Structure 1
Amino acid sequence: MSEQITKVNSWVLGLTGGIGCGKTAVSNMFEELGITIVDADIIAREVVLPNSKGLKAITAHFGEDILLPDGALNRAELRAKIFTNNNDKEWLNALLHPLIRIKILNDLNNATSPYVVLVAPLLFENNLDKYCDHTLLIDVPTSVQIARTVKRDNTSSEQVKSIIASQMSRADKQQKADDILNNDRSLNLVHIELVDLHKKYLQYALHNKTNSH
């Protein structure tokens, strides 16, 4: 499938960070400031909703067993299937990545706020940063990521460690990001710094708009 859109009209801030670093809390702050949020995780769920092209293709490939009684995708079943079969995993990625990308680009282009935030845990890993003008990493120590995720998802620290190990390392993300926001402190302090960043991004977006006309 070809990607129709490759250019985004808005000034885009890519927001990323590993599991448990508090991306949602920070993206909510941007939303409160009137900035449109495009969330890659939400879009990844939307492209496999009942009656979607994505879910129809998945059902044709894996059979009706991949559905829950209400017709929704059985994610646990799908994870189990692709976990043991690399070909199926590659097939699924080849199906979903273009669908997700097209929806992301459409949503970025439809944003009406002064700039738009693209939230993606795998921003750098999936090359989504190529659609961004600037990137912001929400950063906490690995020990904090583990503690927060274990508490939030009621999961084992081993499981969280394996998720962290499968993502780009914290040091590599720090190297790649244009800005880093430390989220290992009170939300009040995080908010104060975020408002300063927001003012800077408004300037960047305005400058970008002026230069593109």
Structure 2
Amino acid sequence: MSGFIIGLTGGVASGKSEVTRRFEALGIVVADADIAAREVVAPGQPALAAIARQFGPGVLQPDGSLDRRQLREQVFADPDARRALEAITHPAIRAVLEARCRAAPGPYAIAAIPLLAEAGGRAGYPWVDRILVVDAPEDLQHARLMRRDGVDAALATRMLAAQATRQARLAIADDVLRNDGPADLLDAAVAALHRRYLDLAAAA
């Protein structure tokens, strides 16, 4: 049982996955919000039934699974619809993440939450003991996005603009891991944070 939980976040293409892989290699359990988000809308889950009641049976495929494209079309241009969807899914995602972290073996666990700043930081996730922000300069994020996703510069700019600002993420950080250098520097930074978190978990 992990009694100490780190919330890990960062902007798109900041290198969150590279960081979480390194923590996992050190034996730390990482509960991923993106995975939890898919699980809570699986057939048979209460959140999926609530979505169908809110948005109509047209958001379900013939096999009963969520028609993501149809739902995306409903909520994309309608802020009220998006908020209604988030009111259904976010509590379920938080519950899955917390349960997974609490059940993890080891002295601490990590909840990887890409939209942690957008969800209110620690106010949205009061069970998180510490927040780690993976940070990279916006021009580097922009270049990585174009390379990783094969998008043009204009779309990459829009994708960055759709998220919380870099300043907003840094404002909620207890720890900042700057990811703008070679892999061996990232290894060393994660190792140093791991040692710090072991000490903090032991003292908690």
TM-score (norm 2): 0.89
* Secondary structure in 2 matching 1:125: coil
Say if 2:135 and 2:176, in contact at 8 Å, map to a contact too.
Answer: yes
User: Could you say which residue in structure 1 is the equivalent of 2:86?
Assistant: 93
1:143 pairs with one of 131, 139, 142: 139
In 2, Cα distance between the equivalents of 1:120 and 1:48?
17
In 1, Cα distance between the equivalents of 2:68 and 2:117?
24
In 1, Cα distance between the equivalents of 2:137 and 2:177?
12
User: Could you say which residue in structure 2 is the equivalent of 1:27?
Assistant: 20
* Secondary structure in 2 matching 1:16: strand
Give the number of equivalent residue pairs: 201
In 1, Cα distance between the equivalents of 2:179 and 2:79?
36
Say if 2:41 and 2:47, in contact at 8 Å, map to a contact too.
Answer: yes
Structure 2 residue runs of 5 or longer lacking an equivalent are none
Deviations 1:171-213 (A, max 9, x none): 23223312211211111211012101101110110011xxxxx
User: Could you say which residue in structure 2 is the equivalent of 1:49?
Assistant: 42
Say if 2:121 and 2:172, in contact at 8 Å, map to a contact too.
Answer: no
User: Could you say which residue in structure 2 is the equivalent of 1:163?
Assistant: 159
Q: Aligned letter for 1:191?
A: D
Say if 2:2 and 2:109, in contact at 8 Å, map to a contact too.
Answer: no
Say if 1:140 and 1:183, in contact at 8 Å, map to a contact too.
Answer: yes
Deviations 1:51-73 (A, max 9, x none): 22112222233333323455432
TM-score (norm 1): 0.86
RMSD (Å) for aligned C-alpha atoms: 1.9
Structure 1 residue runs of 5 or longer lacking an equivalent are 1-7, 209-213
Say if 1:10 and 1:111, in contact at 8 Å, map to a contact too.
Answer: no
